[in-house]
């Protein structure tokens, strides 16, 4: 019997995502001027207020307030009526020095023996149901909000959009786990005030169904066949959504970890990503396990794969590595045997993850909205500035964990 599966996404203007983007902008600035920076930075946003807190060990000094304001402005909070505006919001910094007790467990005389920044388990997942090896419901949820943000910035076809938004997509799957159609789409978008609520709701629903959805079908033609006349649309189902962003809901770093990863598919170890430098395996090992899972599926080893790794704080070697193929393996090996081979291909000690994926670079701002996984690897040039006038321009690779650079090694190891 067929079944339904749902994933959600949130926009860059969602309060929790504002917090993630500020935290990751701080990470990028610290790493740009001191690649060995150790940073764990949390952000809270609420009505007219930003609070920064965390621990840092770095040789550089930053204007953290200006960095936060630049992020808020880029997102689109630039009007006083939003009750949260880039130039006027208050910003309090409570960032202090990293604990030496933690640092001594990470830094080693020999870099290769760098210890894990914390204990815990991390998961990476991949499925061949999409071209980017991501779960389809999440991929569509992200796409809806990316295009909605494009419409907001264009300010031509739809002129009343504000930055805060959420989406949700429900898919119908067949018995053999193949997506058949979209059953329901939920979109809640913040908007300017209207004179009459019934007119407002009708206008927003009409615009999103007649303008946004066709753009999605045109931009993602591989998904066009999933759209149909029987889709149930819930557009701003609570009605009026003028009060939003940090004025409507306090935002915190790290509260959208399922949006950031696989939309509820696979598994999650519980650790957030944003605001953490790559010595924190919550982030680096989650990227590394995604890299493994994606390359294994792309090599044809299985249709769907979940990779788990775990660490003890201050210890380089993982306490476990496990691969689950959900019964879709194409090679004559058990999941345990596959795990042993994977362990030999991918060195999962923290230093080697950092080197393999080039994680000690300012590459994190781009991850902080619309998912850390399933994105397109690209090379970009960025410029950073310190309060004392120092300027640094760097060329970096983004989303290195999405590269299919180990497919040949996997095929050779498994004789595929």
Per the annotation, binding residues for K(+) are 42
Residue numbering of the annotated binding site for ATP: 14, 164-166, 240-241, 249, 255-256, 272, 276
| Residue showing tokens 């058949």 | 180
Calculate the alpha carbon distances from 193 to 160, 200, 242 in Å. Answer: 8, 8, 6
- The annotation places the binding site for L-methionine at 55, 98, 249, 280
Binding residues: 14, 16, 42, 55, 98, 164-166, 240-241, 249, 255-256, 272, 276, 280
Spatial separation of the C-alpha atoms in residues 292 and 302, rounded to whole Å = 12
Rg of the chain (C-alpha set): 22
- In this structure, the number of other CB atoms found within 10 A of the CB of residue 104 comes to 11
Q: How far apart are CA 379 and CA 370, in angstroms?
A: 19
Nearest to 122 by CA among 281, 331, 4: 281
260 close to 125: Cβ distance less than 8 angstroms: no
Which positions make up the binding site for Mg(2+)?
A: 16
Helix (H, G, I), strand (E, B) or coil at 288: helix
Residue 147 CB partners (closer than 8 Å, separation 6+): 212, 215, 216, 219
Nearest Cα neighbor of 305 from 320, 291, 287, 285 is 291
């Amino acid at each position: 019997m067929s079944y339904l599966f749902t994933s959600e996404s949130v926009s860059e203007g969602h309060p929790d995502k504002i917090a993630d983007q500020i935290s990751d902008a701080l990470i990028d600035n610290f790493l740009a001027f001191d690649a060995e920076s150790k940073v764990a930075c949390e952000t809270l946003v609420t009505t007219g207020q930003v609070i920064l807190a965390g621990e840092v060990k770095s040789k550089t000094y930053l204007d953290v307030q200006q960095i936060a304001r630049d992020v808020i402005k880029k997102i689109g909070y630039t009007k006083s009526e939003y009750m949260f505006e880039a130039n006027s919001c208050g910003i309090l910094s409570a960032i202090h020095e990293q604990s030496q007790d933690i640092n001594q467990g990470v830094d080693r005389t020999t870099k290769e023996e760098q210890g894990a920044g914390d204990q815990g388990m991390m998961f990476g997942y991949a499925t061949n149901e999409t071209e980017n090896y991501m779960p389809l419901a999440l991929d569509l949820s992200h796409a809806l909000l990316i295009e909605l943000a494009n419409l907001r910035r264009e300010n031509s076809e739809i002129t009343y959009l504000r930055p805060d938004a959420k989406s949700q997509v429900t898919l119908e799957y067949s018995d053999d786990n193949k997506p058949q159609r979209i059953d329901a789409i939920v979109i809640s978008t913040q908007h300017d005030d209207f004179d009459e609520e019934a007119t407002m709701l009708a206008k927003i629903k009409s615009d999103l169904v007649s303008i946004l959805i066709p753009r999605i079908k045109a931009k993602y033609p591989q998904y066009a066949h999933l759209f149909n006349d029987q889709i149930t649309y819930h557009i701003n189902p609570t009605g009026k959504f003028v009060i939003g962003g940090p004025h409507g809901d306090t935002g915190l770093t790290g509260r959208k970890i399922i949006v950031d990863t696989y939309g509820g598919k696979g598994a999650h170890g519980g650790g957030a990503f944003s605001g953490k430098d790559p010595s924190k395996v919550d982030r680096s090992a989650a990227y590394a396990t995604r890299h493994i899972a994606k390359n294994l599926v792309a090599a044809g080893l299985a249709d769907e794969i979940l990779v788990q790794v775990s660490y003890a704080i201050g210890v380089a070697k993982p306490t476990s590595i496990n691969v689950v193929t959900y019964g879709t393996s194409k090679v004559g090996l058990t999941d345990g045997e596959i795990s042993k081979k994977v362990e030999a291909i991918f060195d999962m000690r923290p230093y080697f993850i950092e080197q393999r994926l080039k994680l000690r670079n300012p590459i994190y701002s781009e991850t902080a909205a619309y998912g850390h996984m399933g994105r397109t690897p690209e090379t970009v040039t960025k410029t950073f500035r310190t309060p004392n006038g120092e300027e640094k321009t760097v060329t970096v690779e983004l989303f290195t964990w999405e590269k299919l650079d180990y497919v040949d090694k996997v095929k050779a190891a498994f004789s595929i």
